[in-house]
Structure 1
Amino acid sequence: MHVYLIPTLNGFAYGLLLFTIAAGLTLSLGVANVLNLAHGTTFLAGGYVGVVLSDGSWSGLLLGVLAGAAVGMAAGGVLSVAARPLYGRGHLSQAMLTFGLALLGGYALIEIFGAQEMRAVIPAALDGTVEVWGKTYPVYRLGFIGVAALLAVVGWWVLSRTSIGARVRATVDDAGMVSSLGINPRLVMAGVLVVAGLLAGVGGVLGGPILGLGTGTAHQVLLLSLVIVVLGQAGSLRGALLASLFVGLVQNLGIALFPAAASYLLFAAMAVVLIVRRGKALGVNEHHPDRPVTVVASRPYLVWVGFAVVVPLLYLVPLLFDDFALSQLNRVAALGLLAVSIALLAGYCGLATLGQTAPFAVGAYVTFQLAEAGIAVGPVQWAIVVVACAVFSLATGPLVLRTRGMVFLMVTLAVGMVTAQVAEQWTSVTGGTDGSGLISASLPWWGAEPLVDDGDIYWYALSVGVVVLIATVAVTRGAAGTRLHGVRDNELRMRSLGHRVPGYLLAAYVGAGVIAGVGGSLFATGQRFVFPADVGFEVAAIALLAALIGGIHSAAGAVVGVVVVIAVRYWLAPEGHGELWLGVLFVAAVYLLPHGITGRVAQLRRAWSG
């Protein structure tokens, strides 16, 4: 047991660090009902300010904490104002807004502080080590344990023993009743967001010396915070504390006991808890979920006329663009199918997902392995990819489809992150963090020349993408689409009418997985390399938001959204400013295009015909 005492202490310290990281997000989501994907950026901003002000003195540390708190409060205030018009629109709109704000904030931080990792200079009294059970241990971590424990006690006392906490709890339980008593519930929620920002900013100052501060920290902090919120139940500081300690101990003892599997334990534990607890895991107010408007053309044949007109024009694109533009269009074809798979689940089934990068990764890496084995003919690759992704979806579907709403979103996130971890760790199959290496060129057909020219790859990707898109549109505009709409709008009523809802959803989930897998195969064929980052959280989030911009209720709209995102990020934005313009796009779209581009077009068409 003596061998594991230090890992246990490390787990305890790491757990309290996670608590300081996640406390702000659990309040934002559980109390103010705002899904804040900019939480990690606020943490990073507070940490950077703390680094700048730290000079190795106690006064510098205190000044850094105060400045980090001020920065976090300002971020919370901005979020409360920006999210106010979105109350009632659901968490997907909030995700688009806050992800856009995160991109804008991350761009601003790089411009101000640079892209290099920064570390604070802590006071000399905290910069040493002490002997614990015969082992040396950093003094700063021991001090951090005390501060984080004090923060947990104070937060619990405020929420459970003060009049302010009573108002907050009452607002969460019944905002209408609170309003009738003369208390403005929106003001209470704005105050919660400001306090949540304060906690994130202070967490950045105090946790930065342990976690490190760099461009990837915001992403890491956001994912860790989401895990804690999921395990601990949103809005509960006590639950967040217990979940943080559990995760910290699992991670550190896992490294000591099962080092090969330690990287999977975090998201695997989250998935298990969510599946077992189902809807009780988050405790989030779901009274106003996103309900995308189903746009049904008054003249259905117009859809096929549109395909007949647009597709031939797309085949002329290589005559107009250079190789760089064609390579980005090849990316559009791959990510477009990923977005289509998301639209099928989110728009037609009401199941918003962040996990479609999992079958996307399966398709990409299966294509890589087939190419390595000399199986380079495209139709053969697709057939094997379809089978592999269908099997993967059939294996995960019965588990994740036990959940709904935000819980489904988080379960699929866990599946996606575990898949990304497998891609990173299984080096013999995927190449790990070094990437797959150069993938052998595919053949579009038996006996054809290998696809090495960007124009040829574009025609190949376009042909495959058009076939998949037409098949998807045909299915969703038929009886299957009508059944899925019924499940999305009123699942209980569909069950009462005798419909096999689990079978419908599983079929949609498998179909979405196959579409995403074909997209992954096209990605591997077009880019000719695959990295774990290509199948990670950022790609999943951007694909979901692109589908929202194009129109989550439309498969073709999802592709349009990807075209807009790629165009803004790689073509229209000045060099080095892609993240800035992408952030502007997301923030603008959430206000100006509440139902996406295709929804706006449908509204204009109805107004014109009416």
Structure 2
Amino acid sequence: MAVHAALLPALDGLAYGLLLYLIAGGLALAYGVGGVLNLAVGAQVALGAYLGAQVSDGTVANLLLGAGAGAAAGAASGAVLAGLTAPLIRRGQLPQALATWGAGLLITATLSASSGGQEQPVRLPPGLDHAVQVLGVRYPLYRLVLAAAVLVVIGVGLLVLHRSRAGVLVRAAADDPQLLAGLGIRPSAVHTGMMAAAGGLAGLAGSLGGPVLGTGPGTGDTALLLSLVVVVLGGLSSLKGTALAALCVGEVQTLGVSLAPSLAPYLLYAAMALVLVVRALHQRPTGEAPRLAPGSVRSAVVRLGEVPARLTARLPRVLALRGAAGRPVLAAAAAAVAVLAAAPWLASDWVLTLLQGALALGLVAASATVVTGRLGIPALGQAAPAAAGGYATALLVTHGQEVGPLQLTAAAAAGAALALATTPLLAAARGATALMISLAISELTALAAAHATALTGGSNGLSALAAPRLWWGLPPLSDRGLYWYLLAAALAATTATALVLRRAPGWLLDGIRQAEPRMRASGHPVARIVAATYTAAGALAGLGGGLLVTANGFISPDDAGYAASALALLAAVIGASRSLIGALIGAGLVIACRDGLSTFWGGSSNVLLGALFLVAGLLVTTRSPAPRATSTPTEAS
């Protein structure tokens, strides 16, 4: 009986894993051939699932027509993405992630508007919509046919890749695009074809796998996260490793959930983070300085004479706001603060609510600015320490501790503690690896918050409706007093961070961003500086999370997930990546689009946010080259 009970989810895991291989295989090929990190792949799956459900009418002909429509729509979206990402390939993974994420949001917003945000029914042919006996248990016939069909598609794809001229061109584009160009073949054309093929596979997986993957609003997010887990575990340049990882993830999602429902979700993201950390350590840059003698840490931190001379010469001009050149900036900042301070008399309560949310998100965006803009390591997980600070604040309120300074201190400490605890996972990572690890940390934090029901309220979240007090014995703040409290806290934290970054710590971060090998060679403890930066940024994010709970009176696991981290990163990028004031302005624009303009417009906020992500990705001026695969995407490892 126990074997029979486990057989059904094991068979489901096989079908699920094969579908994930279709999606993740295309993702791995796109990265291996063109160096494109496509975060719109989940939306392409959702597009295929929606079209397959719409076309299905219970006949085999329309089932096949739906599969073809899904594959064609996915291929078309892939070709469009190829054109969008072509100028971004040499700018690193951050612009690609932003642009493709924005394109995915636009696709899902369109699908949501078309479907009303509801799950779409898939009408299977009667001949396939029944169960058959498999090893003594009854199993849906369609899932067996689905597994066989996906195996055929995979076999044809591998045959094309290994035995056709198109496959030769793909492998040549991955190994030596310059040689390919010398033969008169445009690598960009191969890149477009590969992106179209990857999109077609994702759309086909969605249209055929609708009954397995689902056809609702969350289909794209689930497909994206699981495909990222698969390519991380299997290797971005290995189709064989991706296949094995896809089957393992499929079994964890079905058999693992049935046997250990509370443990299985952690296994995926924990394994993802562990594999990434091992790879980051294995590929760690050489030239790490020797350990410094006790008592020499201070001298190592302030030895600016060993920072590259080119950087040192530029610092006074870049960072100082003195003299006539700095007066307009200071005057504009003073005017902006005066307008914000007068907002309770000038604006409506609704606008004040938007401003409060922008101030809180601005601090989380400022923490992303410190890590991504100043340190130069892209991070998609700043919502994790922000959520830690938010939950610390909410727990204090629920236990009757309503003193504002105490809440702020606890929020910053909680954010710093979580950042410090996860720093060993992130310290050696750069580029796409850092993005993936921070995303995994964010998702693990959200899962932990959802499962720790006794502490966090689980998926229902925690309410913290009591207004803070400025000190013990004082009355709770009024609505205006609450706004000024949030404004003062946000400005104080931003000013303090800016003052620190204008001095030696900021110079060291600029040195690591621009010339990390030379910083290591000159004796600076780069690993410790990175760890300290992550911890300080975590404290800033935790403070922002605490203010967000104070402003909204509520926190849930969604506030720790990758979507919340993406909003903070978007605000930082809009604010010119390295500007703290810009991060606050970017947060204001994000909140205005998500909660303000969408109300007047009457449409989904994801359309406006998607457009913001897309434009931000296209305009980012990062110039670090995208790392190419060290092996062809057809190798085993």
TM-score exceeds 0.5 = yes
C-alpha separation in 1, matches of 2:175 and 2:564: 36
For the 8 Å contact 2:47–2:203, the answer to whether it is kept is yes
What displacement does 1:64 show? 0.7
Q: Which has the higher contact order (CA 8 A, sep 6+)?
A: 2
1:290 is matched with which residue? Answer: none
What displacement does 1:297 show? 4.9
For the residue of structure 2 that corresponds to 1:210, the secondary structure is helix
For the 8 Å contact 2:232–2:272, the answer to whether it is kept is yes
What is the 5 A alignment of 1:89-128? Answer: 89-128=91-130
Structure 2 counterpart of 1:299, one-letter code: L
For the 8 Å contact 1:343–1:553, the answer to whether it is kept is yes
Structure 2 counterpart of 1:206, one-letter code: L
Structure 2 counterpart of 1:440, one-letter code: A
C-alpha separation in 2, matches of 1:467 and 1:244: 48
For the 8 Å contact 2:388–2:542, the answer to whether it is kept is yes
2:593 is matched with which residue? Answer: 568
C-alpha separation in 2, matches of 1:589 and 1:352: 14
Alignment of 1:466 onto 2:473: no
The one of 159, 175, 189 aligned to 2:177: 175
What is the 5 A alignment of 1:120-519? Answer: 120-278=122-280, 296-297=318-319, 299-300=321-322, 302=326, 306-451=332-477, 453=479, 455-519=480-544
Alignment of 1:21 onto 2:47: no
For the 8 Å contact 1:28–1:235, the answer to whether it is kept is no
Partner deviation per Cα, 1:272-313 (whole Å, 9 max, x = no partner): 1111222779xxxxxxxxxxx999256357365554443233
For the residue of structure 2 that corresponds to 1:270, the secondary structure is helix
For the 8 Å contact 1:101–1:587, the answer to whether it is kept is yes
Structure 2 counterpart of 1:525, one-letter code: T
For the residue of structure 2 that corresponds to 1:126, the secondary structure is coil
Structure 2 counterpart of 1:578, one-letter code: S
What displacement does 1:464 show? 0.6
What displacement does 1:471 show? 1.0
For the 8 Å contact 2:56–2:63, the answer to whether it is kept is yes
C-alpha separation in 2, matches of 1:57 and 1:543: 46
For the residue of structure 2 that corresponds to 1:9, the secondary structure is helix
Gaps of 5+ in 2: 284-313, 624-637
C-alpha separation in 1, matches of 2:363 and 2:213: 36
For the residue of structure 2 that corresponds to 1:355, the secondary structure is coil
C-alpha separation in 1, matches of 2:545 and 2:388: 7
What displacement does 1:137 show? 1.5
Partner deviation per Cα, 1:400-446 (whole Å, 9 max, x = no partner): 21222111110110000000011111111111122213443222333
2:55 is matched with which residue? Answer: 53
For the 8 Å contact 1:548–1:595, the answer to whether it is kept is no
C-alpha separation in 2, matches of 1:216 and 1:312: 43
For the 8 Å contact 2:53–2:215, the answer to whether it is kept is no
What displacement does 1:251 show? 3.2
What displacement does 1:23 show? 2.6
Partner deviation per Cα, 1:325-384 (whole Å, 9 max, x = no partner): 111111111111111111101111111111111111100111111111111111111222
What displacement does 1:236 show? 2.9
For the 8 Å contact 1:367–1:521, the answer to whether it is kept is yes
C-alpha separation in 1, matches of 2:38 and 2:450: 27
Structure 2 counterpart of 1:576, one-letter code: G
For the 8 Å contact 2:48–2:71, the answer to whether it is kept is yes
For the residue of structure 2 that corresponds to 1:130, the secondary structure is strand
The one of 547, 557, 581 aligned to 2:608: 581
C-alpha separation in 1, matches of 2:516 and 2:220: 37
For the residue of structure 2 that corresponds to 1:299, the secondary structure is coil
Structure 1 counterpart of 2:562, one-letter code: F
C-alpha separation in 2, matches of 1:225 and 1:304: 47
State which drifts further: 310-319 or 572-581.
Answer: 572-581
Structure 2 counterpart of 1:492, one-letter code: P
The one of 581, 587, 596 aligned to 1:556: 581
Query: Structure 1 length as normaliser, TM-score?
Result: 0.91
For the residue of structure 2 that corresponds to 1:136, the secondary structure is strand
State which drifts further: 356-365 or 162-171.
Answer: 162-171
C-alpha separation in 2, matches of 1:126 and 1:280: 49
What displacement does 1:80 show? 1.6
State which drifts further: 249-258 or 198-207.
Answer: 249-258
Gaps of 5+ in 1: 282-292, 597-610
C-alpha separation in 1, matches of 2:281 and 2:69: 38
C-alpha separation in 1, matches of 2:53 and 2:450: 31
Structure 2 counterpart of 1:80, one-letter code: A
For the 8 Å contact 1:155–1:237, the answer to whether it is kept is no
Structure 2 counterpart of 1:488, one-letter code: R
2:34 is matched with which residue? Answer: 32
2:14 is matched with which residue? Answer: 12
What displacement does 1:245 show? 0.8
Question: Residues 184 and 13 from structure 1, CA distance in 2 versus in 1: closer, same or farther, beyond 3 angstroms?
Answer: same
What is the 5 A alignment of 1:77-92? Answer: 77-92=79-94
The one of 561, 564, 579 aligned to 1:536: 561
Partner deviation per Cα, 1:547-591 (whole Å, 9 max, x = no partner): 111111112211111111222233334133432223233333444
1:288 is matched with which residue? Answer: none
What displacement does 1:595 show? 7.3
State which drifts further: 224-233 or 440-449.
Answer: 440-449
For the 8 Å contact 2:382–2:568, the answer to whether it is kept is no
For the 8 Å contact 1:551–1:595, the answer to whether it is kept is no
For the 8 Å contact 2:119–2:217, the answer to whether it is kept is yes
State which drifts further: 530-539 or 48-57.
Answer: 530-539
C-alpha separation in 1, matches of 2:405 and 2:570: 31
Partner deviation per Cα, 1:237-261 (whole Å, 9 max, x = no partner): 2222111111122333432443221
Structure 1 counterpart of 2:377, one-letter code: L
Calculate the aligned-residue CA RMSD, in Å: 2.2
C-alpha separation in 2, matches of 1:495 and 1:593: 27
For the 8 Å contact 1:22–1:226, the answer to whether it is kept is yes
C-alpha separation in 1, matches of 2:484 and 2:585: 18
C-alpha separation in 2, matches of 1:47 and 1:470: 48
C-alpha separation in 2, matches of 1:439 and 1:465: 20
1:606 is matched with which residue? Answer: none
Structure 1 counterpart of 2:613, one-letter code: F
For the 8 Å contact 2:371–2:533, the answer to whether it is kept is yes
What displacement does 1:48 show? 1.1
For the 8 Å contact 2:34–2:89, the answer to whether it is kept is no
For the residue of structure 1 that corresponds to 2:90, the secondary structure is coil
What displacement does 1:398 show? 1.5
1:286 is matched with which residue? Answer: none
For the residue of structure 1 that corresponds to 2:408, the secondary structure is helix
For the residue of structure 2 that corresponds to 1:433, the secondary structure is helix
Structure 1 counterpart of 2:127, one-letter code: A
What displacement does 1:531 show? 1.8
C-alpha separation in 2, matches of 1:227 and 1:451: 46
Question: Residues 342 and 428 from structure 1, CA distance in 2 versus in 1: closer, same or farther, beyond 3 angstroms?
Answer: same
C-alpha separation in 1, matches of 2:579 and 2:354: 22
Partner deviation per Cα, 1:469-508 (whole Å, 9 max, x = no partner): 0111111111111111111122221111100001100010
C-alpha separation in 2, matches of 1:168 and 1:13: 28
Question: Residues 566 and 110 from structure 1, CA distance in 2 versus in 1: closer, same or farther, beyond 3 angstroms?
Answer: same
Question: Residues 451 and 161 from structure 1, CA distance in 2 versus in 1: closer, same or farther, beyond 3 angstroms?
Answer: farther
What displacement does 1:316 show? 0.6
State which drifts further: 501-510 or 390-399.
Answer: 390-399
